[in-house]
Amino acid sequence: MELKQKSKDIKISILKMLNNAGNGHTGGSLSTADIFTALYFQIMNIDPKNPNDPSRDRLILSNGHVAPVMYASLAHSGYFPVDELMTLRKLNSRLQGHPHMNSAPGIENTAGPLGQGISVAVGHALAAKLDNKDYITYCSLGDGELNEGQVWEAFFSINKFKLNNLICFIDRNKVQLSGDSIDIMPLEPLADKLASFNLNVIEASGHDFDEIITAFESAKNSNKPTIIIFNTIMGKGVSFMEGSYKWHGIAPDDEQTKKAIEEIQNGE
């Protein structure tokens, strides 16, 4: 129950900050909100009061356009004031449309061009191996991002260096900027393709906390590098956004925000 309420709080903050900014990426931020809630409030070894702890787990946001869900998760877990979320995309704000490394506590990488963050995550995980450190690196990927060749090159490296301290997860909402992913660049059979890299592949619901937590715990206990495919719904929790690629990169207006918040508050 606590995680469900935290997720609602994060989703409502996402809607408010995007509405205030007047632009940004709503759909993917909502589809990953439950996953990020689980990570920040149960899964990751982090301390908001000591954000640069060398032993902390790292979360690399490769799909940088869903920065609102990361910012909201950071704020609600205590890295900086929740009120600061309303500065999203404002001039001189620490919270720009895509994350900038070290601009605010808890932001581990600079993101923008899709496909690059996974390589950063590989670097963090390899560094931990070389330094005999036991922190875990998590990497968030969008399914549209898998169209980028650099992602698959990184998967080769994950296998080569046996990075079982790296847990990648994919927001499999099946839509991207300009349409359904099956029409733009079909990915299936995605699990089989990933498994062919000799990776541990887990499929789970991205909206069921039991499945989310079980998937991450299983990944942490695997002796192989893991990629989790989280089956999600674009714009989860808001009826007029769910499953629509049109909400990939637009913000709700005042009336839409009010209706969306009511649906989130009254949802399961």
pLDDT of 35-60, one tens digit each?
999 999 999 999 999 999 999 999 99
> How do residues 129-180 score in pLDDT, each as one tens digit?
999 999 999 999 999 999 999 999 999 999 999 999 999 999 999 999 888 8
CA-CA distances (angstroms) from residue 127 to 34, 54, 163, 238, 244? Answer: 29, 12, 10, 40, 39
Unique residue bearing structure tokens 């918040």: 261
Count of all residues that appear for the chain in the document: 268
> How do residues 84-123 score in pLDDT, each as one tens digit?
999 999 999 999 999 999 899 999 999 988 989 999 999 9
SS3 label, residue 116: coil
> At CA 26, angle to CA 24 and CA 30, rounded to 5?
145
Q: How many other CB atoms sit within 10 Å of the CB of residue 116?
A: 20
Average pLDDT over all residues of the chain: 96
SS3 label, residue 173: coil
Q: Where in the sequence is the domain holding 143, given as residue range(s)?
A: 2-266
Tell me the percentage of the chain whose pLDDT exceeds 90: 94
At 1, the pLDDT band (50, 70, 90 cuts) reads low
Helices assigned H by DSSP within 90-208: 117-130, 149-160, 181-184, 190-195
Compute the distance between CA of residue 163 and CA of residue 94 in angstroms, rounded to an integer: 32
CB 170 within 8 A of CB 142: yes
pTM, two decimal places: 0.97
Domain containing 136 — which CATH number?
A: 3.40.50.970
Q: How many domains does the chain have?
A: 1
Which run of H or of E encompasses 141? strand 137-142
For the cut 90, the answer to whether the pLDDT of residue 254 exceeds it is yes
